[in-house]
Structure 1
Amino acid sequence: MALKPHCIFQRGTGPIIAAAIHNGHQTRKSVEQRLAIDDKQQLREEDPLTGEWTQIAKTQIVGLRSRFEVDLNRPRDKAVYETPADAWGLEVWDTPPDQSMIDASLREYDAFYAEVKELLTEMLDEYPRVVVYDLHTYNQRRDGPEGPKADPTTNPEVNIGTGTMDRDYWAPVVERMIHELREYDFHGRKLDVRENVKFQGGHFCEWIHQTFPKQVCSIAIEFKKFFMDEWEGEANPAQVECIYQALETTVPGVRKALEQM
């Protein structure tokens, strides 16, 4: 395991990686001192618990830094939030970040992508193709704790983002994953799993597909926060575990589809 200040890289066997790049909540002291948002606001826009779900794979990438320090899923020039428009309308800063703070955050960003490239290159020396589970969560009560839930017709429980890949080329892998998630018995019902409805995949997937277009399939998997109270930051442990199991059940089929390509 490689433990960096900004990320954990756990290398294991097999061609499957699980990544939780928005799992982190920590910030450098210099960043923390300038933040205007409180801890709950910060946590609400992060992806808590996704780090736990990476245990479905032997190789894991888990972010330790908050996206409010540096957002690893955005292009480099947008990776540090500077205005409310960058951050869901939130007034993030008491004092805006100066250039030295931005540069320090971008060094973390550059180090992360260099380390991911090294990891993927090493794995491709061993396996002809690799799949990345890019795990995220998203909010469903944008209008406050008592506000209405987001319209389920445009906000599926599980959004599979494939907009940055060669979808036809990777069809066997993507379709096997979607099939397995839809068939999983989630406390006596089926999950609402749809593709490219809410999100199509962020910069992390885009960068992977630009760098390794025919060798690495990165699937952005966004779980709506139906499993938790996003305003209080409290999760339902049984549902969190069931999501883990749902993801875990997809791995054998996804690996088989990958190996048959």
Structure 2
Amino acid sequence: MVITERSAFEFVGDWSGQFIATAIHNGHDVRPEVAAELILSDEDRLREEDPHTDEIGALVPARVVVRRSRFEVDLNRSREKAVYRSAEEAWGLEVVRDPPLDGAVVARSLEVYDAFYGELGRRLDVVAERGPFVVFDIHSYNHRREGAAASEAPWAENPEVNVGTGSLDRDRFGSVADAFIDSLTQAGTSAGPLDVRENVRFRGQQLAAWTHARYPGRAAVLALEFKKTFMDEWTGEADHARIDELARAVASTIPALREALVEVATP
């Protein structure tokens, strides 16, 4: 188990532009007092986290990388639901020894939540002053939930990349979403074109909703869920060549998105 006192999150890269990548479920670290309460195994915890999503967004100019595990505080849920207090709040997983967690532990986890959104707001306020912007909200999802040797989940319901636009103002930013989907599909990889579809499995959650509410008419958050074909979701072994291809594919969409933003910004 990774127990840490290092920074819960980092804001890195060049924030002078209008493109930001976030990896808010990337982390595996937990505070010592949280680690003492966890009964979920490291392996099960890692399987439900989104490792390597920071690498998929690594070529986007401005980046947010979260180091803390979602099992300490889930930054993609509303504040009142950000700390898993019971199995019902964690997909049936038994997470802590004696639910619910002690209130003081929860309060300290929520301090991380508040600090994250406070700093994100300060950063994005400056970005939004310059005009419309895009956030790549990068996540990943499992597709062999029945076991390591199980068949993949059905293709029809499990795209390689699910683009969540549930809270996006599509009247204003529909052309931005469409430009991204078209560009990412055309980017191609050594395994062929990426299967990119919108709102098939996921529609985006708190980070997207919070950003859209705070910056109406300015923010276009694309909640991206990459199927874990870039790693073995049961062993955790990563295919770094595939991750590099996905990173290049995401970055390759920026020119098309830049053009789409110009059209959105033009009266």
- Taking structure 1 as the reference length, what is the TM-score of the superposition? 0.95
Distance 1:188 1:115 in 2: 38
Aligned equivalent of 2:26: 23
Aligned equivalent of 2:184: 181
Task: Give yes or no for the alignment of 1:121 onto 2:121.
Answer: no
Aligned equivalent of 1:190: 193
Q: Deviations over 1:21-54 (max 9, x none)?
A: 1111100000011111111111111111111122
Q: How many residues align?
A: 257
Distance 1:226 1:214 in 2: 34
- Tell me which of 194, 199, 203 is aligned to 2:202: 199
Pick which of 143-152 and 221-230 moved more: 143-152
Pick which of 221-230 and 87-96 moved more: 87-96
Aligned equivalent of 1:7: 9
Distance 1:227 1:122 in 2: 34
Percent identity of equivalent pairs: 43
Distance 1:213 1:182 in 2: 28
Distance 2:189 2:61 in 1: 24
- Per the TM alignment, residue 123 of structure 1 is displaced from its structure 2 partner at its CA by 1.5
Q: Which residue identity lines up with residue 151 of structure 1 in the other structure?
A: P
Q: Which residue identity lines up with residue 70 of structure 1 in the other structure?
A: V
After superposition, the CA RMSD in angstroms is: 1.2
Structure 2 gap segments, 5+ residues each: 1-5
Aligned equivalent of 2:3: none
Distance 1:211 1:99 in 2: 29
Distance 1:224 1:75 in 2: 24
Aligned equivalent of 1:98: 102
Contact 1:56 1:251 in 2 (8 A): no
Aligned equivalent of 1:109: 113
Q: Which residue identity lines up with residue 238 of structure 1 in the other structure?
A: A
SS in 1 for 2:220: strand
Structure 1 gap segments, 5+ residues each: none
Q: Which residue identity lines up with residue 31 of structure 2 in the other structure?
A: R
Pick which of 222-231 and 10-19 moved more: 10-19
Task: Give yes or no for the alignment of 1:252 onto 2:252.
Answer: no
